[in-house]
Amino acid sequence: MIQFIIFLFGLIVGSFLNYVIYRLSIDGFSFYRDFINVKSRSYCPNCKHVLNWKDLFPVFSFIFLKGKCRYCKERISWQYPLVEISTAFLFLLISSQNWPVIDTTFMLYIACVLIIIFAFDLKHYLIPDKILFPAICVSFIYRLFYFGLTNNFLSYLLAALLASLFFLIIYLISKGTWMGFGDVKLAILLGLILGFPNILVGMFLAFFLGAIIGLIIIFLGKKGLKSEVPFAPFLITGTFIAMFFSQDIINWYLHLFIF
């Protein structure tokens, strides 16, 4: 029952994340307008018709409407149910870790931030600073408050600096053709999330997944060798995997050399 409630809560939060992603793509993001003084109701991006409450149930409305707007019959993007379902499953996974309440709350917030960045970069080839910078500040304060000026805190700070420096070098060498500066800034956040050496696992997985998916896309003729491909989704996927399984991956990797 508790897991069902968490999953349902995740669906609701995922629906809100879709709202944030859409607002960011239209007219930017305002804390006051979008959280405190919300006056505009949700509407269809195509026909602008205000949505009825029956159209706003996460995932279920998409299924009931067969993926089409009730009013103009235009197809609804698969982004909406995928974001909602992904948020729900991540909430379940995070809540199952038996972390302290403060850790769980922080990781739920981080999951929301990374989902927004994932979807926004995949769609617009851009990482929104209005979401990224507050997350970096929150993560820095959280790590500092939790560990103080100890070696544990320094490991997260080191991870952020090394990851960001690595991507900055790539950005400067390629003059922004291989990697955008948004990835440099995103690496700071990912370092503060994973710490050292887990950031190495996350980065390795990101490049590995990027190479595999890139080859598949080229093989299918969807992209060419010089085509632009957003890298943040791979970094975020690698981060999520490292967040939960980094120690298992490190142990497996070391086991290959020991035996």
The 10s digit of each residue's pLDDT in 98-114 is: 888 999 999 999 999 99
Report cis status (omega within 30 of 0) of the bond before 45. Answer: no
How crowded is residue 64: how many other Cβ atoms within 10 Å of its Cβ? Answer: 12
Residue 110 CA to residue 34 CA, distance in Å, equals 19
Report the C-alpha gap between 78 and 195 in whole angstroms. 33
The distance in angstroms from the start CA to the end CA of the chain is: 44
What are the pLDDT digits (tens) for 228-247? Answer: 778 899 999 999 999 998 87
The separation between CA 253 and the C-alpha centre of its own chain, rounded to angstroms, equals: 26
Looking at the predicted structure, is the pLDDT value of residue 251 above 60? yes
Indicate the pTM of the whole model. 0.87
Spatial CA neighbour of 86 closest among 53, 68, 105, 59: 59
**pLDDT of res. 220:** 73
Burial-class residue 87 by CB neighbours within 10 Å (0-12, 13-18, 19+): buried
Q: Per the structure block, which two tokens stand in for 182?
A: 């948004």
166-176: average pLDDT: 90
* Whole-number Cα distances in Å, 37 to 51, 73, 189, 242, 258: 19, 31, 29, 38, 59
pLDDT band at 148 (very low <50, low <70, confident <90, very high): confident
Q: What is the pLDDT of residue 188?
A: 96
Q: Which of 16, 18, 14, 22 is nearest to 48 (CA)?
A: 22
Please say whether the beta carbons of 187 and 235 come within 8 A.
yes
Neighbours of 237 (CB within 10 A): 18
Q: Cα-flanking dihedrals φ and ψ of residue 59, to 5°?
A: 65, -50
Biggest alpha carbon distance in the chain? 64
Q: What percent of the chain has pLDDT over 70?
A: 88
Of 117-121, 150-154, 251-255, least confident by mean pLDDT is 251-255
Residue 88 in this model has a pLDDT that exceeds 90: yes
